[in-house]
A and B are shown apart, each in its own frame.
Chain A
Amino acid sequence: MDNELINAVAELDEEKTLFLVKERIKAGAKPLEIVEDCRRGVEIVGRRYNDGTYYLSDLIMSEEILRGVMEILKPYFPPKNPSQGTKIIMGTIEGDIHDLGKNIVIYLLQSAGFEVIDLGVDVEPKVFVENIVKTGAKIVGISVLLTFSISSVKKTVDLIKKAGLRDKVKIIIGGYPVNEKILEYTGADYFENDVVKAVELIKRIAEGKL
């Protein structure tokens, strides 16, 4: 039965997933157990994306399926994300409003149990700093698509340095144009273009392996 739900999510079968969730609620299953199975399904989706079986359209679909599941489950449990104690700040840099990659990373991180503070799009450098201070987050993800906005990423890193926070946070830049050269230019710690790899990178950082 458990495997059936995991598989339905992994196979991106929306109708079957929602049906199974309703069935299990009726049968008295705990909402958290259902979420856990969905999470395992999403994990398979992520792996399949990683090995090239699934594409972005599939990730977007899994996000939508999970949203439907949460809607069914909402009335049954107080919405509290199981947190691994690692807070992550994410935002698209100022001047840029592209958020597809950022949103998928956030969704995958939340599925993996992280607490993510989403600052949205067109985020000013000082807002990143203010939120590091406010939340005590140890990881900051900055998303950038337009090369035009890369200078603002550098500005953000410099501002974090100036605030004396540079050694307290790991900064990851992500998005279409980032590469070694841009990492060096901005002074961030890591870069990643691939959403699933970005999540793995963040997990390794959170586990203290990096």
Chain B
Amino acid sequence: MSTDKLKLYEERKTRYLKALDCGKPDRVPVVITGAEFIIKFAGFTLQDIYYDPEVNYFKAMDAFLQRFDVDAHFGAPMLWWGGLHDAVGAVYLKFAGRELDVNTQFQYIEGEYMLPEDYDAFIENPTEWILTTFLPRIHKEFTEPGSYRANIALIKGAIARAMELEVLAQAAEKWAKEYGSFTAITGLSKAPFDTLGDTLRGLKGIMMDIRRIPEKVKAAMEVLVPHNIYYGLATAGGDTEFPVFIPLHRGAFPFLNPKQWDEFYWPTLKRVIEGLWERGKRTLFYAEGDWTPYLEKIAELPDKSIVFHVDRTDMDKAKKILGGRFCLKGNVPNSLLSIGKPEEVKDYVKRLIDTYAADGGFIVDSAAVLQADSNPRNVEAMIEAVYLYGKY
């Protein structure tokens, strides 16, 4: 690594880690959750990104990092490699250039891929159930588990995943060496309620289950607690310096009523976060939507165990209830970044910093993952404003 890039890397890392730890670095860090914005900005189609890891991890990121001086980013624009999912015949995803127009976002086909009568088998042995029942349902190539075709598909899928991780590792090295830049997170996990309510039972399924078969829902989530702790650590390759990304879904207001939230959403999520923290791993609590009614509960977590990402949560209340004990991150509105003017973006960021960042533990980021419609000049204005007004 050239000395100046190494120095930049170290500066940014120190700044970022200090803020995560609720401290006051030399300046407020700015992070960008790029996604589709990066693709459009770099001039590629979504099909290029989904189907060519070279474009996703290298070409698009080069264009992005050359232009935007962020302290940390969220890695390659896309988590999904179409080739991997095609190799195993995924039926729950649709990709640009295959089922969809070359520039249409990937789509997840919501369904009840786990049925109410599957709970017992899942609770008894989740891995076995996933391998023998769930995977065959959502992948054409696994329709007959144990068959020649299914075995080949398993091998193909595993090789594809290993190839992708290898590309990611090479890319991360390049981002550090050439741009002094790094990914803000390592590893991924979920709230047990979301594991069950996203891909397995689906939104409607899980909402019915908590009324019809609440005890089964609880037993299934119980099984998921150690799994989700392990998964968070394993996908981070054991790293404990950076936070693990937990995108939170069904716990946002107003999905669950407070009683349901207290009873179903929170206890197991809390234990996953505490379990990770006991092992030295902090959580990026990516609270998409509005989490204002639940802030008091979230404050029960051990000091510094999460970074609380603010999307539509009331920032005043988040600061009052969580500030000082947890780093806060957010919340430049995406609509402002897409149809606002650069001056408006700057004003917003200035106000954000002036009001909430004075005592440290604050990171500027977009409220939600950036879409293709974000205006590059606005994204630039967001970064400029941090450089301009964010010095401590």
Contact = CB atoms under 8 A, between A and B. Distances in A.
Given A147-B335, A148-B36, A148-B105, A14 B373 contact: no
A146 to B, nearest CB: 6
A55 interface: yes
B260 A150 contact: no
Contacts, number: 61
Prevailing SS type, chain A contact patch: helix
A-B residue pairs, 9 tightest by C-beta: A55-B257, A148-B371, A55-B254, A60-B207, A57-B207, A56-B255, A147-B371, A148-B373, A57-B256
Contact of B107 (A97, A100, A176, A177): A97
B338 interface: yes
Interface string A174-200: 001101011001000000000000000
A64 B204 contact: yes
A181 B207 contact: no
A188 B54 CA distance: 42
Interface of A: 12, 14, 53-58, 60-61, 64, 95, 97, 100, 146-148, 150-151, 176-177, 179, 181-182, 185
Interface in B276-301: 289
B331 interface: no
Interface stretch (B145-153, B208-216, B230-238): B208-216
B225 to A, nearest CB: 22
Chain B contact patch, size range: 20 to 34
A182 B335 contact: yes
Nearest to B103: A95
Contacts of A179: 335
Contacts of A95: 104-105
A182 to B, nearest CB: 6
B378 to A, nearest CB: 12
B138 interface: no
B303 to A, nearest CB: 30
A150 B107 CA distance: 17
A146 B203 contact: no
Nearest to A151: B373
Interface string B123-134: 000000000000
Contact of A64 (B208, B260, B339, B340): B208
A114 B212 CA distance: 30
B335 A61 contact: no
Interface string B75-119: 000000000000000000000000000001101000000000000
6 contacts: A54-B257, A55-B257, A60-B203, A97-B107, A148-B373, A182-B335
A117 to B, nearest CB: 22
Given A146-B371, A150-B338, A182-B335, A14 B212 contact: yes
Given A55-B254, A150-B373, A61 B105 contact: no
A179 B312 CA distance: 13
Interface string B332-369: 00110011100000000000000000000000000000
Contacts of A60: 203-204, 207-208
Nearest to B254: A55
Contacts of A147: 334-335, 338, 371, 373
Contacts of B107: 97
A37 B105 CA distance: 43
B223 interface: no
